[in-house]
Amino acid sequence: MEKVVIFDTTLRDGEQSPGASMNAAEKLRLATQLENLGVDVLEAGFPAASDGDFQAVSQIARKMQHMCVAGLSRTGKDDIDRAWGAIQEARHPRIHTFLATSDIHLKYKLNMSREEVLKTVVDAVRYAKSLTDDVEFSAEDGSRSDRDYLCKVFEAAIAAGATTVNLPDTVGYAIPDEFADLIKYVRAHTPNIGQAVLSVHCHNDLGLATANTIAAINAGARQVEVTINGIGERAGNTSLEEVVMALHTRPNSLPFQTDINTRMIHPSSRLVTMITGMIVQPNKAIVGANAFAHEAGIHQDGMLKNPMTYEIMQPDTIGLNRSELVLGKHSGRHALHDRLSTLGYDLAEDELQLVFKAFKDLADKKKDVVDDDLEALVAEGVLRTTEVFKLTYLHIVSGTTVMPMASARLSINGREVTGAGYGNGPIDAAYNTIAKLTNTESELLRFTVSALTGGTDAQGEVTVRLKENGLVALGKGSDPDIINASAKAYVNGLNRLEYLKANPIQKAI
């Protein structure tokens, strides 16, 4: 079967989801997971966007052993130099440069003629090619571009040295039949298209990103640009897990293969959720909590007789372990390490020690510690180690006859501060106190709470969405005490806002 190249842009386009920014350590951990997943090309970031992004891309480029590492750039020489500076130490570096080709973008955004765009593309690709053999060119808003002009641009880009040409459905406007026809047209009317890989990059504004991507593969595209959980600008990008499992499950209709280790899909999805704080909707295909859940009696009866009656995929195919094994306060480090490894977490010794201590503390409060609890502990203990604000103490007074009051102690860049405040309820009091201590004025846009597991001793998981000075960040926290979980989520969100202030993100494709 022909291979489809998996180009993952979770760290670049995925990070452009409101509130989904990641720090360098989180990006490096996720990049390592994506390499274990079997991704072919990793778009590690947009090096010209900020010094933070440049440093993160550089670290990833140096560490990855197998993946091609791509850096995004606009067509300016400075941007291309910045991208090359970040990825030049990669074993397999790629410069990914882009420019819009649709008339609406040329007129209202670029204020350039078609001839000027064509010359700019050629100059940019030629210069990038002088730095590395692997160059990708993307025609932004390609799905709304004039077909013949698009073919002309691709022909010129390939002649200048592009080894991959990408056709993005930047605003999620295409429908499958139309997009497939466009792919066929480009292949038939670009004379040198055989000298490059034809790629697609679809957005999900009409809920058609995966359908458009599959249609494009059938029409001749051989690289797909995707993200874990489908995160990305606006309604998101094509979901890696949906495309990969469609190819894996329907080889009779889709005779193509990828190098993805499907058993790493679920751990990768969970890691992205933990790092970004973006919860996967329960009915999300492949990785949603209900994807392999059956409640209807008729379905349950069929499942008991033969799982294939209502499941077209086995859950263990994506790494979803349904083991009933639980850990408790008598479990040791070896059992914890083994369980975390099964879940896809390869922790260093010091990281394991952090999680083990938190595990023991949780086990004293909760009889059984299950997989969701462990993943929350990894998020708290490992993925949140470098932060501006740390909550070290919280005391709440609340009830029917007293005004809710909170007293708190925080560490701010290593300096301890304490204070107290009032609110309409215990969580409001805690948030007012933390805001006063951190001298922040964020607006709480959303507050959600859920139980990680069943039972009255379940850990509560809180997600908040904060906005400050036009920046939006998600925060996440978990704890058996829901007020503590709420405070942790708020502090986590404030830390993400601080990161965004220091690392502004440049929007692209």
At residue 324, does pLDDT exceed 50? no
DSSP-assigned letter for residue 194 = G
Ramachandran area for residue 424 (φ above 0: left; ψ -120 to 50: alpha; else beta): alpha
Better-predicted residue by pLDDT, 305 or 471: 471
DSSP-assigned letter for residue 482 = H
What pLDDT does 154 receive?
Answer: 98
Confidence of residue 220 (pLDDT cuts 50, 70, 90): very high
What pLDDT does 303 receive?
Answer: 57
- Residue 373, both tokens: 């609890």
At residue 283, does pLDDT exceed 80? yes
Confidence of residue 433 (pLDDT cuts 50, 70, 90): very high
Residue 121, classified by CB atoms within 10 Å of its CB into exposed (0-12), middle (13-18) or buried (19+), is buried
Angle between helices 147-160 and 176-189 (to 10 degrees): 50
At residue 226, does pLDDT exceed 70? yes
At residue 474, does pLDDT exceed 50? yes
Please give the Cα distance from 149 to 101 (Å, whole number). 8
User: Tens digits of per-residue pLDDT, 361-401?
Assistant: 888 877 677 777 787 778 766 665 457 999 999 999 999 99
Better-predicted residue by pLDDT, 482 or 314: 482
Average per-residue pLDDT for the chain: 90
Q: What is the mean pLDDT of residues 322-348?
A: 72
- The residues, any chain, with a CB within 8 Å of residue 224's CB and separated by 6 or more, are 4, 5, 6, 7, 199, 200, 213, 216, 217, 238, 243
Confidence of residue 18 (pLDDT cuts 50, 70, 90): confident
Range in 66-75, 219-228, 353-362 with the lowest mean pLDDT: 353-362
**Buried-exposed string 481-503: b where 16+ CB fall within 10 A, e elsewhere:** ebbbbbbbbbbbbbbbbbbbeeb
Q: What is the mean pLDDT of residues 154-174?
A: 98
Please give the Cα distance from 315 to 502 (Å, whole number). 41
User: Tens digits of per-residue pLDDT, 23-64?
Assistant: 888 899 999 999 999 999 999 999 999 888 999 999 999 999
Q: What is the mean pLDDT of residues 204-231?
A: 98
At residue 252, does pLDDT exceed 80? yes
Q: What is the mean pLDDT of residues 301-307?
A: 68
